[in-house]
């Protein structure tokens, strides 16, 4: 299985979008990265496995990073 086969423009776009939304969720006091993943989970139903995981990974990492803003 080739790792570079998974990297395409849609994959990178979903990771970037997830990170941006995660930072916004994390910067709001009381909202956590886990809550951002739970709220955006239905968005992944229409995506494939790899693209859905990329979105959720971006949300989680962005939420953790955005949580540093109110701290």
Model confidence at 4: pLDDT above 90: no
> What is the average pLDDT value for the chain, to the nearest integer?
89
Q: Tell me the average pLDDT across 1-15.
A: 80
Q: What is the tally of helices (H) and strands (E) in the chain?
A: 3, 0
Please, are residues 51 and 8 in contact by the beta-carbon 8 Å criterion? no
Look at residue 62 in the predicted model and tell me its pLDDT.
94
Question: How does pLDDT run across 20-49, given as a tens digit for each residue?
Answer: 999 999 999 988 889 989 999 998 999 989
């Amino acid at each position: 299985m080739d790792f570079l086969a998974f990297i395409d423009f849609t994959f990178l776009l979903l990771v970037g979008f997830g990170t941006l939304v995660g930072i916004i969720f994390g910067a709001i006091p009381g909202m956590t990265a886990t809550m951002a993943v739970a709220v955006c989970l239905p968005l992944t139903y229409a995506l494939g496995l790899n693209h859905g995981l990329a979105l959720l990974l971006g949300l989680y990492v962005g939420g953790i990073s955005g949580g540093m803003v109110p701290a």
